[in-house]
Structure formats: C-alpha cells, structure tokens
Chain A
C-alpha cells in the first residue's frame, strides 16, 4: 500500500544574472528561485490497484514518482510504501518496487540484454527457480526472448522499452512505478505493453502507478486516475465519475455540404456548441439536457448531414476541459 501524506517538494535553484556582469554578481550574492513542484498532496493506493497519474508537463508527476521510489527526499510531508519511507529505508523499499522511466534506460548499454538480466538477478538475489519462472512469464507477455543476446544499444525504442519493463519486473516487485512507459512508441508496441501490465496485475496482483500523456493507456488500464496540475491534485477518483463530471457529454461529428459553416448554421439551442474540425462539423452537447433525437433531426434537416459519428466524450477531452478551466480561473485571478 502506498500512502502519500501532505507531500511537498520545493526545488530551490540559484537565479543566474545575465551576461558577464550578471555572472560576477551571482558569485557574491545568490538569489534563489523556489518552485513548488509538488504542493501538499494526499492519496492512498491500495494493493493491486492500477492508478493513472496524469497532468500536463511540469505538473509534478515525475517528482512525485521519484519521491515514491526513494530518489528524491520530500521537502515536507511523507510517502510510505508498506509502512516504510523510501528515502529513509531506500534499500529495503527498493527490493519491493520496480521502476521504469520511459525517458531513459536502466539497462547496461553495451552488454547483451540477457547479461543485464543476470546482473539484476544477482542484485535482487533472485533464486534460480524464480528467475526462470519470471523469464518465462516476461518472455511471453513482453516478447523479449528474440533479442536477449543483443547489446541494448542495438535495440529499437520499442524493444528497449519492453526490455526495460521486463527488467523492472524481474524481481516480482509488489509495486511498479511507470513514468511514461509508452512514450514515443507505435500503437502495436503500446498495445503489447498495456497487455503486459494487465497480465502482471492479474497474475501477481502487482500495484501499478503509471504516468502517461496517452489517454488510451488510461482508458485501457486504469480504474482510477489522479489528475495533477501545478503540484496540486485537481481530481482523484474513478475514471467513470471523471467522465460524468461534465454530465453525459457527447460529440456528434458530421460530414456536411461545403456551404454549411459553423458560424452561419441556424442555432438549435444554447446547450449545443458547433465547431469545425478537419473539414467536419462537430456538435457537442449534454445528452441529459438536450435530447439526442432532437439533435440528430436537427443535423439532418438544418445541417443536411450526409454522414455522422456519435461518440462519448473521451478522457482526453475531459482533462483538456478541466485544465483549460483551471487556466481561465487562474487568468481571472490575475
């Protein structure tokens, strides 16, 4: 179980003056700029849950992950992993967690992949039978067997990421932290990685905390999401209730004759918004307030729709809406 309590991380960096005179001044008087990367957050992750930890770049996701796995020490507040604070009991906690930072590899660059695994076997003191079992499981779900004998530097990004993921799971960690595990990957590899995470969670009951910018990852994997913005939690709860937060939102995408434009189309109701996206007309509305039937009739009669696609709002849309509302509120304050 992960417990995060009033967790705060403040980064303090010296402000360098510009130019030569600025540099000389910095030598004698240092001013510091403080950034509250993580600002008093609280949450608990029970065993066996898959949590999506999302937010814009610089929201403080990676900083939180780094505190949870013992790389960074919090400025105040605490994290406990099964009752232990990772930055105090680093080695003990490390035995029970696995970490992947999608941006960089933890594998040894110049040696064949299998050698990296063997090193990890020794570091984590994995028994021969456990090791064989894990290699079988990972070989199957992540399909790494084929390139085990290649040096890591010769692997493609997709192969490397799968290898990294396998490496983080080799000691059967109870908790897995994945910081953007699908970054820069093609759809098929993403798919494979998602399946592996699912399989791991189902087979071993592994708790997974995952950050990503890919909303498909979230919809496929996570039952719960935590949305972070400027170091604070904006939303923490089930994926479903986040979607319903804005009502029963639907989008209807239409193919219409060229003369029908969003600005000039006869309006139906203030509840309905029209916009043009990629040459198509997009209608957004709350199906609880405006009957679907009415909208569809309107689309055929007034907009002369030739084709249409109805969709529920995606998590990505919700997150976008929350973040832009947040920004607007922020702008008003100033």
Chain B
C-alpha cells in the first residue's frame, strides 16, 4: 500500500535537492540571526543578578547558547515544508482534481513528499550542520558533560523526536492548508501557523521562561514537541523518563491531529468547486 507513495517521496527529495542554493543562502542568513541571539542572551545574563554564572529558569548562559544554536539547526533541517502553499495552489488552480481521481490519499501524498524532503535535508545538511554545531559547542565547553554511552541513547531518541516533529509540522501545515478550502486568506493562515509554532514551540524562548500557568497549558500542547523537546533531549537536559514522556505526548498528538485532518478534509472536500466547466 505504501509503495504507491514512493514517487511522491522521491519528488520531495529531489525538489529539496534542486533548491539547495536557496537553502545555502538561507543558511547564511541564519548564521546572522544566531549571532544576534547570542548577543541578546549575553546582555540578558550580564545584567542579571548572578552575572554570567547565573542560572535563569534552569539554563546557564552556556546552555542557553547551545540551545539557541541547536534549535536553529533543528528548525532549519526539520521544517522544510510547502504543504500549505501546495494545497492552496491545488485549490486555486483546480489541480486538486488530478489527485482526487487517483487511488491515493491526498494526505498521504503530502506526508510522503515531506518525508522525502526531510531525508534529503538530513543527509545533505543535517549531518554536517549537527556535527559542526556539536563539535564547536562541545569544544567551547558549552554543552553539559555528555556522558557517552548515554548520549547515544539520547541521540537515538532525538532522531525519533526529529521525525515526530517533522510529521507534526506537516500535519499542522496540512490542516491549515485544508482551511484554504473555506477561505482565500492563505497568506494569513500561513502567518498564523508560523507565529503559533515559533512562539509555542520554544523557538523564540524556551517554555521555562513562560509564566507558570501558560507554561502548564503549553506543555500539554503539541508545539513543544516541534522544537524545544527534541533539542533538550539531545542536550540531555531531559533524563530518559522525561524524554520518553515527551515522545509519547508528541506521538499521541500526531495521531489525534491526523484523525482531525481526515475529518476536516472529508468535510472540506464536499465544498470543492473545481474551477471551470
């Protein structure tokens, strides 16, 4: 059954490959963003009561820098996704009909494409970037002492978390994409999605910095599994039990959101009015 989706996986992998120069340019921009964040945190820690040795919400300055660098690399490798735009295009141009007349699931097509893209990104950029980040951070003593056999367990869990994050990101993009059936405000939907994710996933700020009440709510939401949790698993800030708990929560969210996406799509599809004819 899954073999049907192989061409889409391949297409995702190859498309990503053909955008490699865009991706490289984006990498350069990202380096500047990271530099800004480093200076920002430097200022925060310097002016804090404990000075540079302070621990703010469980993060030392060095851990914070490691966190910033690793979440940036993580987002960069994991979230390479055009699902929302592609759905919007299919609806506006009427090309959605081409997929509806084929014996494949529309959702499955996007999941396969995104997975293909994730594979290319991980092999082409992920491995060198993670290696460079980890070696640099480790060499500067910015990583907490990684005790080695245990680190490999965490690395394994991190890879699973990365896959989960990518799936979660894709199903969320898909849900927002399917909303394009009801509204033409695709640009607004995309901004809403991006903002929600970057705020609630801990990319802008670790969730530990949120007020206690909000933190509690957000910790049960799916977003932390998209950025903060995978990185904290890799940094071994989470012990094994906490890591597994995070993965279980994210897994449950993926299942729930996939179900929701299925229901939403079967409702939306009744609203399709393919252009022309």
Q: Give the interface of A toward B (CB within 8 A).
A: 11, 13, 61-63, 66, 69-73, 87, 90-92, 94-95, 97, 99, 101, 103-104, 106, 118-119, 122-125, 179
B4 touches A123 (CB 8 A): yes
Complex Cα distance, B152 from A1, in Å, reads: 59
A71 touches B103 (CB 8 A): no
- Among B209-217, B233-241, B249-257, B267-275, the stretch that binds chain A is B267-275
A104-B94, A106-B98, A122-B7 known; A66-B277 Cβ under 8 A: yes
Measured CB to CB, the nearest residue on chain A to B94 is A104
Complex Cα distance, B7 from A70, in Å, reads: 23
Complex Cα distance, B71 from A79, in Å, reads: 52
B272 touches A71 (CB 8 A): yes
In the complex, the 5 A-B pairs of residues with the closest C-beta atoms, listed nearest first: A62-B277, A94-B103, A119-B7, A95-B103, A106-B98
B20 proximal to A (CB < 8 A): no
B17 shortest CB reach to chain A, Å: 14
The 8 A CB mask of B10-37 against A (1 = contact, 0 = none) is 0000000000000000000000000000
B272 CB contacts on chain A under 8 angstroms: 71-73
B4 touches A122 (CB 8 A): yes
B273 CB contacts on chain A under 8 angstroms: 11, 13, 72
The 8 A CB mask of B255-271 against A (1 = contact, 0 = none) is 00000000000000110
Measured CB to CB, the nearest residue on chain A to B1 is A125
Which of B3, B6, B96, B269: most chain A CB closer than 10 A?
A: B269
The contact sample of 5 A-B pairs, CB cut-off 8 A, is A62-B276, A91-B105, A94-B104, A103-B276, A124-B102
B40 proximal to A (CB < 8 A): no
A71-B272, A72-B274, A122-B7 are known; give 6 further A-B pairs, CB within 8 A: A61-B277, A66-B274, A70-B100, A72-B273, A73-B270, A123-B4
B51 proximal to A (CB < 8 A): no
Q: Tell me how many residues of B have a C-beta within 8 Å of chain A.
A: 22
B277 touches A101 (CB 8 A): yes
A87 CB contacts on chain B under 8 angstroms: 269-270
Complex Cα distance, B112 from A123, in Å, reads: 13
Complex Cα distance, B97 from A63, in Å, reads: 12
B3 touches A99 (CB 8 A): no
Number of A-B pairs, beta carbon distance below 8 Å: 64
Measured CB to CB, the nearest residue on chain B to A211 is B277
A92 CB contacts on chain B under 8 angstroms: 103
Main secondary structure of the interface of B (DSSP, over half): loop
A71 touches B97 (CB 8 A): yes
Complex Cα distance, B273 from A124, in Å, reads: 26
A70 touches B101 (CB 8 A): yes
B101 touches A73 (CB 8 A): no
B277 touches A91 (CB 8 A): no
A101 touches B97 (CB 8 A): yes
72-103 of chain B: CB within 8 A of chain A = 94-98, 100-103
Complex Cα distance, B170 from A25, in Å, reads: 37
B57 shortest CB reach to chain A, Å: 44
96-131 of chain B: CB within 8 A of chain A = 96-98, 100-105
A63 CB contacts on chain B under 8 angstroms: 277
A127 shortest CB reach to chain B, Å: 12
A94 touches B105 (CB 8 A): no
A168 shortest CB reach to chain B, Å: 9
Contact with A123, one of B94, B102, B269, B277 (Cβ below 8 angstroms): B102
B101 touches A123 (CB 8 A): no
A148 shortest CB reach to chain B, Å: 17
B97 touches A123 (CB 8 A): no
Complex Cα distance, B1 from A123, in Å, reads: 9
A94 touches B102 (CB 8 A): yes
A99 touches B4 (CB 8 A): no
B3 CB contacts on chain A under 8 angstroms: 122, 125
Measured CB to CB, the nearest residue on chain B to A121 is B7
Measured CB to CB, the nearest residue on chain B to A62 is B277
B270 touches A91 (CB 8 A): no
Measured CB to CB, the nearest residue on chain B to A57 is B277
Measured CB to CB, the nearest residue on chain B to A107 is B98
Complex Cα distance, B103 from A125, in Å, reads: 10
Complex Cα distance, B101 from A179, in Å, reads: 13
A71 touches B277 (CB 8 A): no
Complex Cα distance, B276 from A61, in Å, reads: 11
Complex Cα distance, B272 from A99, in Å, reads: 18
Complex Cα distance, B96 from A29, in Å, reads: 30
